[in-house]
Amino acid sequence: MKVSPESRFDWSDKSVLVTGGTGSFGRKFIEIMLKEFRPARLIVFSRDELKQHDMRQVFSDREGKPMRYFIGDVRDQERLRRAFQGVQIVVHAAAMKQVPACEYNPIEAVMTNVNGARNVISAALDAGVQKVLALSTDKAVNPVNLYGATKLVAEKLFIQGNAYSGSSPTRFSCVRYGNVIGSRGSVIPLFQQQRKNGFVTVTDLRMTRFWITLEQGVRFVIRSIEMMHGGEVFVPKLPSAALRSLAEAAAPGCRIDTIGIRPGEKLHEVLVSQDEARNTLAFDDMFVVKPAPRWLFGADPWTGGQSLPEGFTYASDNNPEILTTEDIRGMVEDTVTTGAPRDSRPTPVTT
């Protein structure tokens, strides 16, 4: 997947804020933005003061640096309004992401993932933010668990949120991708822990998933911000892998025990549904799900892509690009030995 095209977007005069900025995505996003794009101001908005303290040791906010740290919760619209003052670009990464946690705490999941999305939209409109890009997931397509359902609602809120922009410059879009290899709470750290005992547990060996590295995800988000007009869902073309291959790559030589699919899990995930495909364009390395209805967003700015054939779906089991065990091993080798994916270990940034 091509994720590093030459940028023609000028970040140097932009103030950029990322919600959930102390998470795996946020840390990598901050690292890449500071090293390569150098925005005028880069703001981490999150709830955890300890994580912000730890992050501050790597990405300093001392005088003359672009970094800023805001304690706040996306459930608090007033705090978001204050944080968004003078901000041109918002990346909305804050969410409850663990499927079991959302199932057991459903109201909390709705408060963060749905009400939080609404609050980000309202605060961005009030503050005159220019671009807001929200992170979504393949689990939002034909959802079978509460996490996926809340992310589906969040997607709809952001896409249709453009209807509230009126004559203001604020535009909303989404990025949707699959599982991030080695991110916190993912299966790789679990396999790493289990392999010490000589076995790993998988729910179903037939299961397939889309996979992306943390750095690829961040770079795709940056590219999508540069390209967005408002109302799109950007979907990268990703490889798929069977859970068996992932287990064999992360824990070679270990016994694999099957424990059965958990509530809320699918055998296979979908990134572009058959119904969405009718309004989707395919490009070399991504799909763009265009907004509908057209009247909300004006003339169609997208040209050059290919329309998809009737009945098309982009699913992890019909994906033409399948990772082998050897392919995966190359992507996770650092995770297996250090417990942290290569892409998520930031080095101190002094610029």
- Just list the catalytic residues: 139
Helix (H) / strand (E) containing 150: helix 146-160
List the one residue out of 292, 58, 327 whose CA is nearest residue 159.
292
The two beta strands, 171-177 and 306-307, are: unpaired
Residue 83 contacts residue 43 (beta carbons within 8 Å): yes
Q: 21 in helix, strand or coil? A: coil
Measured CA to CA in angstroms, residue 251 lies from 182, 185, 193, 322 at distances of: 14, 17, 9, 19
Residues 6+ away with beta carbon under 8 Å from 178: 137, 138, 209, 210, 211, 212, 238, 269, 271, 316
Cis status of the peptide bond prior to 293, with omega within 30 of 0: yes
Residue 332 contacts residue 213 (beta carbons within 8 Å): no
Q: 130 in helix, strand or coil? A: coil
List the one residue out of 208, 182, 174 whose CA is nearest residue 341.
182
Amino acid at 76: D
Question: Which two structure tokens, joined as six digits, stand for 208?
Answer: 């397939």
Residues 64 and 255: their CA atoms lie apart, in Å, by 54
Question: Which two structure tokens, joined as six digits, stand for 65?
Answer: 């640096």
